[in-house]
Structure 1
Amino acid sequence: MKNRYEEKEAQAFVGAYPQCPAELALRVYTSRLLGAEEDLVLHGGGNTSVKGVITNLVGEEQEILYIKGSGWDLGVIAPQGFPALDLAYLRKLRQVQDLSDAEMVNQFRTHLLDAASPNPSIETLVHAFLPHRFIDHTHADAIVTLSNREDGAKQLHEALGTNIAILPFIMPGLPLARAMAELYESRPEIDCIILANHGIFTFGDDAKTAYDRMIDYVSRAEAYLAERGPGASAGEAVDPGLVQPSLLLPILRGGLSFVEDSGRRRTMQLAVRQNKEILAALFRPDAQELFVNGVLTPDHVIRTKNYPLWLEVGGLDEEGTLAAVQTGLGRYQEEYDRYFAEQVAAKAVSRTKLDAMPRVILVPGLGLVAAGFSQKDAGIAADIAEHTLTAKLRGAGLGPYRELGADSIFDMEYWALEQAKLGKAKPKALEGRTALVTGGGGAIAMGIGRKLLEAGARVFMTDINQERLEAVCHNLADTFGSRLVSPLLMDVTSEESVRLGLAQLVMECGGLDILVPNAGIAHVAKLADLSEAAFRQVMEVNCLGVFQVIKGVIPILRRQGTGGSIVINSSKNVFAPGASFGAYSASKAGAHQLGKIAALELAEFGVRVNMINADAIFDDAGVSSGLWDVIGPERMRSRNLDPEGLKDYYRQRNLLKTTVHADHVGNAVVFFASEQTPTTGATLPVDGGIMAAFPR
């Protein structure tokens, strides 16, 4: 592992934060160096600290511990991510015989220098009880790869030398902090402590020394594995075509969904990791033995569960795949339920059982599949699982893997302080759902996408115009993040283009829950002047395009078996057509009728199909409506109006005298997609009230 410490960079950090002590600025610098290495720290793992002295408000010198705040990522941490605590008081807690989790957190909160600071790390007492000025802690892959073997202690000493000490796993808190301090006091010459099945602590009197020691010890462990780990060979190259993602992933995603006691259905996003190394690793004859065992470090259990699910479906047809998924998930849930029951009985405790669904699924011939209630959760689980697979592979030749006992795993999985990392906010209405919006380069799509994202959905936007599509997606990504919104180039009039786009979507997130056929074009001409070519073009986009995408998603929705929602962006012209607008009005009426037919046919597997009839929407957040770009000039000429006058004309013609915005259409889509009422085959006007367009 490369040592990335640069003295010029370190001093630049000191200059960048003139309002904080130099040692804290250096603490930020080396923490970011550690956080940038995925082989050291993944998704908020690890923690760092520095001790200092300040002059407090009453003029007294006070010893301070600056420690990474809970929820902060070392890779991007800033000075405010290090809450400051009264170090002298924290050290007195070593005298306490017992300290509950709640009381420990209370002691931390009541001895902060700034009451607005984030909660300090749950390993604060370790950093307080050790005497060193700078302490670095990571879950380095190479270290836990060695510590999790039957001869782990022997191999660690061979790899790292004798100037280290090793502790068996202890849950974070007062007992661990006391054990770490006693171990160091018994061997003050050491500069590194390994906590088995967990990670590595290095320390020093300055930031560079603690960091250098971390990189040095991890590098030694990596070199040892490279030299003595014959299991590092992944295996034979594998053709990824053994498993059809478009068949398996929707079935798997449907199987992973469940209904809570409240009656709410929870669905998950999937993240697929597929490369030649993963494919070859899962194709090894001993792959199941190598990889179906416990986590590298118990900190991962809240993200991945302790065990992955091994699922073999290569060469199976749809019926066989469904049976294999149901059997595998059923067995996994039974084993998880048994683990939970045994642990609560053995510990004589009461706990609310978490869902029993796996978060990591290993599929020979496809790769690694991770699941989570959001795309972020699925991505985190996938990152951890990929590192875990690699680490177990590298250590395969060093003896049997020694996983942490179920009692320790349970303590961590059901530890309130660990669960707090996941947050306890009420799930958003569309959390875990995936939506596809066609016509994604226009103003209405912007409003629909925005409201779907606000409601918690993962959103794919499609369009045939790449420039307009990317403009909309970039706009939405600026607010919601690029992880949650993706552009898909798609021609809705082409069956092949739709098939390829949906295959890409399924590979990225596992399936689809919400389809919004929104693509549309317009042409202004009286029937006498309307060319056949123009008529066909409008019909193909506005009507055939709706048919193609609905037909394309039916297999996905059926395989998932979790229902779904199709919301067609129709038009007030369905009931109130306009002169010189024959192609548009006819095409929208046809799409509207297709929606009603779909409502009849798809109800058997729980899919709801509804229509929204919106009136004129000209633009949104600087994105124009493609339709109004075409018809707006003619409408202004015929009424002798400028652009603002045209908008006012449409505002004044509805009963509520209101402007219809893209967000209004988005709100209607979310209403239908969130299934707040048992409604299908319905039409909802979003037009301010146009009497001629009342549904009838």
Structure 2
Amino acid sequence: MQHRWNQAEAARLATPLDECAYGSRLLGSEPSLVLHGGGNTSVKGTMPDVVGGDVEVLWIKGSGWDLATIEPAGFAPLRLGRLREILTATSLSDPEMMNALRCALMDASAPNPSVETLLHAFLPFAAVQHSHADAIVTLTNQPDGEAVVREVFGDRVVVLPYVMPGFDLARLCAEQWAVQHHDGIVGMVLLNHGLFTFGASTEEAYLRHLELITLAEKYLDAAAPRPVTVAPRALPDVDAVTLARLRRSLSEAAGFPVVTTRHTDERVRRFLARSDLADLTQRGTATPDHVIYTKRTPMLGRDVAAYCQSYQQYYKEHHDRGRGPLTMLDPAPRIVLDPELGMVTVGRRGRAADVVNDIYRHTMDVLERAEQLGRFTVPSAGELFDVEYWDLEQAKLRRAGSPPQLAGQVAIVTGAASGIGRACAEALLAAGASVVGWDISTDVPTSFSSVEWLGLRVDVTDPAAVREALRSGVERFGGVDIVVVAAGIFPSSQRLSQLEPDSWRLAMSVNVDSVAELFRQVHPLLVESPMDGRVVIVGSKNVAAPGPGAAAYSASKAALHQLARVAALEWAEDGIRINTVHPDAVFDTGLWTPELLAARAERYGMSIESYKRRNLLGAEVTSAGVARMVTAMTTDVFATTTGAQVPVDGGNDRVI
């Protein structure tokens, strides 16, 4: 564990809570200690009561906050005296405990306190830090985990057997503290769970965490050194349709569309090459709380139906352990391990698939080193079930609202770096889609910072570049459900008598030929969409109402319109719908500079604002407005519509 405490930075912290937030971020910045909301920290102190005087308070990490980025506002302040009273109860269910904790808050607007609040309250130290360190769970995931811990730390830690977090764990801690505690205790190890350290200050608790983790790492380096093996050669290329078909099967099993991401790097290949893979990976998770993200085991191979049947049997065997009625979670796996595909991670959105990836990469390390140390051993399937179907997790499901409208769906947007294309990409992201944006601009990779965005530099007139871009998008998000064709060019105005052949050919190449090639390549992927494929064409008013000097543009857009109509006829039998939006006078795009807009307005003897509203409705047409229509066409609003043409132009008498 790297020493990150900076005395100069710490000296500028005004309060113990500020120091706790600082120390928490240091802990959270170590992925081998804390992943995706795991771990918790606290500090005790006083704060004024509204009726006067100071009250003893415990500030503890609030639910929904990540230790890596937490600020003081992320800590829930609770009356310490009341917490100690709650600890005297003989029993509490988790919902009862969480209700009691919220009633003990000093601030009704504070986040929900950690489920381990009572344990923090019991420990007689000002500051407490808790992590799920890889090194600790590697030591403890053994048949004789306590003996290994004693060998590493001696009597400097209290050791507790595995118990689910909550009231029972806090009571067990209180019982064992009386038996095991002495003046030399600096930490507490929870078997199969993690490490607590404590001290008079957050700095002391952090330094003790550093010391104990370092001892564990040195022990493992000596007793179970990381194996030095040569990774197998690169995995074979896999057809994008194969990945899309797997995603479709996983989505059907889950009951909603999912995003999948393929991983074929050296670390994954080494792990897949293990001769004991089928045994080792099916024993369980590195630490029980991971089951919420990854399920108990990964799927080996591609038999989704068999995995789901096994999960349903697992639920049937253990559902009576619940304290009340349970709702079975979807049976689809979250991790696929396959000798050709590599590792495929699965999530409701791209971010969820990335979380699974992060967790399982650490799980690989824990599994391998724990097996080398002795035998990787975890709590029983029933105990893991208890966490997966925890009262508090079931309550979250009941409270959860509907996901974003396009969650789990994957869109390709061409011409996505600017203008209408960029607006469409932004609108689809806002609706919950994972978006692959194509453009020739160097800006496209960084157009959006969302993990649901993959920006690729693509020349849409190059069939090989299109093929590679489709493959990259499918590797990242699993398939294609939506295609928005927004890439296009508007050549400089030329009368037919002066029309240059190169200008004509370029307009046809970009605006029509490239789309025909895209349709040819993307059709097999749209067929595999779990939600039925959708295509939206960004056409033009010029299809219905061309203007002089725009022969190349108008003809190419008219040809594109006909291409879309034929595709609608041919692809309806595959459940793929194709609709077209015809914008006009969209002045917030790169085509319209302030100078050009001013010149056009002057030509018509109008102000710029009047010129921008020169339509029947007197409305300003924007890229965002066009994008709203495009997004609507990808939703159930247009579920029974294909081959439609919708103008977004404020009303044009020539079109009407």
Q: Could you state the TM-score of these two structures normalised by the residue count of structure 2?
A: 0.94
TM alignment of 1:473-512, pairs within 5 A: 473-474=446-447, 477=448, 481-512=449-480
Partner in structure 2 of residue 667 of structure 1: 628
Q: Which amino acid aligns with 2:26?
A: L
Alignment of 1:300-339 (within 5 A): 300-311=290-301, 325=302, 328-339=303-314
The answer to whether the 8 A contact 1:252-1:560 is kept is no
**Aligned sequence identity (%):** 40
* Cα separation, partners in 2 of 1:29 and 1:634, compared to 1, 3 Å: closer
- Tell me, what secondary structure is at the counterpart of 1:106? helix
CA distance in 2, matches of 1:295, 1:604: 44
Amino acid at match of 2:243: L
The DSSP-based 3-state class of the residue aligned with 2:573 is helix
Q: Displacement, 1:517?
A: 0.8
Deviations 1:174-213 (A, max 9, x none): 1110111221121222322211221111111222221112
Equivalent residues of 1:238, 1:365 under 8 A apart: no
Aligned CA distance change for structure 1 residues 365 and 217 (closer, same or farther; 3 Å): farther
Contact residue 238 and residue 340 of structure 2 kept, 8 A: no
Distance 2:57 2:598 in 1: 71
How do 1:378-417 residues align onto structure 2 when only pairs under 5 Å count?
378-417=353-392
Q: Structure 1 420/508 Cα, relative in aligned 2: closer, same or farther at 3 Å?
A: farther
Q: Output the amino acid matched with 1:605.
A: D
Structure 2 equivalent of residue 321 of structure 1: none
Q: Is the 8 A contact 2:141 2:370 kept in 1?
A: no
Give the aligned partner of residue 640 of structure 1: 603
Counterpart of 1:220 in structure 2 is 215
Contact 1:279–1:365 (8 Å) recurs in 2 = no
Which runs of 5 or more structure 1 residues have no equivalent in the other structure? 15-21, 312-324
Structure 1 residue 36: Cα displacement:
0.5
- Structure-2 separation of matches of 1:636 and 1:347: 72
Whole-angstrom CA distance in 1 between matches of 2:363 and 2:165: 22
C-alpha displacement of 1:365: 4.1
Please report how far the alpha carbon of residue 126 of structure 1 lies from its aligned counterpart in structure 2 after TM superposition.
Answer: 0.6
One-letter amino acid of the counterpart of residue 625, structure 1: G
Which position in structure 2 is the counterpart of 1:297?
Answer: 287
Conserved in 2, the CA contact under 8 Å of 1:616 and 1:660? yes
What residue in structure 1 maps to residue 132 of structure 2? 139
For the residue of structure 2 that corresponds to 1:280, the secondary structure is: helix
**Count of residue correspondences:** 651
Q: Determine the structure 2 residue equivalent to 1:282.
A: 272
Equivalent residue number for residue 161 of structure 1: 154
- Partners of 2:207 and 2:600 in 1: how far apart? 73
* CA 1:339–1:416: 2 relative to 1, 3 Å: same
Contact 1:436 1:514 in 2 (8 A): yes
1:565 to 534, 547, 555: 534
For residues 416-455 of structure 1, what are the structure 2 equivalents within 5 Å? 416-418=391-393, 424-455=400-431
Give the counterpart of 1:254 among 239, 248, 254. Answer: 248
State the 1:668 CA deviation: 1.3
Structure 1 residues 234 and 578: CA distance shift in structure 2, 3 A: farther
The question of whether the paired residues in 2 share the 8 Å contact of 1:134 and 1:207 is answered with yes
In 2, the alpha carbon distance for the partners of 1:579 and 1:213 equals 78
Task: Tell me the SS of whatever aligns to 1:13.
Answer: coil
User: 2:601–2:611: 8 Å Cα contact kept in structure 1?
Assistant: no
Contact 1:235 1:284 in 2 (8 A): no
Go from structure 1 to structure 2 and tell me whether the alpha carbon gap of 1:584 and 1:159 turns closer, same or farther (over 3 Å shift). same
- 3-state SS of paired residue (1:131): coil
Task: Report the CA distance shift for 1:245/1:594 in structure 2 as closer, same or farther (over 3 A).
Answer: same
Provide the rounded CA distance (Å) in 2 between the counterparts of 1:349 and 1:662. 51
Inter-partner Cα distance in structure 2 for 1:613 and 1:593: 13
Query: Distance between the aligned counterparts of 1:638 and 1:355, measured in 2?
Result: 58
Residue 649 (structure 1) aligned to one of 600, 606, 611: 611
Q: How does 1:174-193 map to 2 (within 5 A)?
A: 174-189=167-182, 190-193=185-188
Q: Which residue identity is paired with 2:497?
A: A
- 1:246-270 deviation line (CA, Å, top 9, x unaligned): 243212211111388xxxx621112
Partner of residue 233, structure 1: 227
Q: Distance in 2 between matches of 1:235 and 1:365?
A: 20
> In 2, Cα distance between the equivalents of 1:561 and 1:134?
50
Write out per-residue CA displacement over residues 594-650 of structure 1, whole angstroms, 9 at most, x where no aligned residue. Answer: 11121222223221111111112111xxxx333x469x94994697258x8466335
Q: Residues of 1 paired with 2:193 and 2:455: CA distance?
A: 40
Conserved? CA contact 2:568–2:577, under 8 Å: yes
Q: Which of 182, 192, 200 is equivalent to 1:197?
A: 192
Residues 111-154 of structure 1: CA deviation (Å, up to 9, x unaligned)? 11111111111110111112121111100011111211212222
Report the counterpart of residue 498 of structure 2 in structure 1: 529
Structure 1 window deviating more from structure 2 (370-379 vs 597-606): it is: 597-606
| TM-score of the superposed pair, with normalisation by structure 1 | 0.89
**Per the alignment, do residues 191 and 245 of structure 1 end up closer, same or farther by CA in structure 2, a change over 3 Å counting?**
farther
- Spell out, residue by residue over 1:643-670, the C-alpha distance to the aligned partner (whole angstroms, 9 max, x if none): x846633522x32121111112111111
1:608, 1:168 → 2: CA distance? 57
How many angstroms apart in 2 are the aligned matches of 1:559 and 1:227? Answer: 50
Amino acid at match of 1:532: P
Q: CA RMSD in A?
A: 2.3
- Aligned amino acid, residue 136 of structure 2: I
DSSP 3-state at the match of 2:214: helix
Offset from partner CA, 1:220-249 (integer Å, 9 cap, x none): 22222222225x326442222325162432
Q: Distance in 1 between matches of 2:321 and 2:54?
A: 49
Matches of residues 601-620 of structure 1 in structure 2 within 5 Å? 601-619=570-588
What secondary structure sits across from 1:693 in the alignment? Answer: coil
Q: Residues of 1 paired with 2:527 and 2:427: CA distance?
A: 26
Secondary structure, aligned partner of 2:87: helix
Matched AA of 1:298 = P
Contact 1:139 1:200 in 2 (8 A): yes
**Cross-structure match for 1:112:** 105
- 1:418, 1:352 → 2: CA distance? 11
Q: Distance in 1 between matches of 2:560 and 2:547?
A: 17
Task: Name which of structure 1's ranges 139-148 and 632-641 shifts more when overlaid on structure 2.
Answer: 632-641
Distance 2:323 2:265 in 1: 45
Give 3-state SS (helix, strand or coil) of 2:581's partner: strand
Greater fraction of residues in helix: 1
Aligned amino acid, residue 207 of structure 2: D
Structure 1 residue 625 corresponds to structure 2 residue 601: no
Deviation at 1:561, TM superposition (A): 5.3
Structure 2: runs of 5+ lacking an equivalent: none
Is the alpha carbon distance of 1:26 and 1:245 closer, same or farther for their aligned partners in structure 2, counting shifts above 3 Å?
A: farther
Aligned to 1:207: 202
- Partner letter of residue 339 of structure 1? Y
Note if 1:362 corresponds to 2:337. Answer: yes
Q: Is the 8 A contact 2:253 2:332 kept in 1?
A: no
| Deviation of 1:99 (Å) | 1.5
Report the AA paired with residue 488 of structure 2.
G
Q: Do the aligned partners of 1:636 and 1:646 also contact (CA within 8 Å) in 2?
A: no
Partners of 2:97 and 2:6 lie apart in 1 by 37
- AA aligned to 1:37 is E
How much has 1:10 moved relative to structure 2?
1.2
Partner secondary structure for residue 344 of structure 2: strand
Q: C-alpha distance in 2, partners of 1:592/1:629?
A: 27
| Corresponding residue SS for 1:678 | coil
8 Å CA contact retained: 1:41, 1:139: yes
Instruction: Answer whether contact 2:454 2:473 (CA < 8 A) is retained.
Output: no
Distance 1:7 1:245 in 2: 54
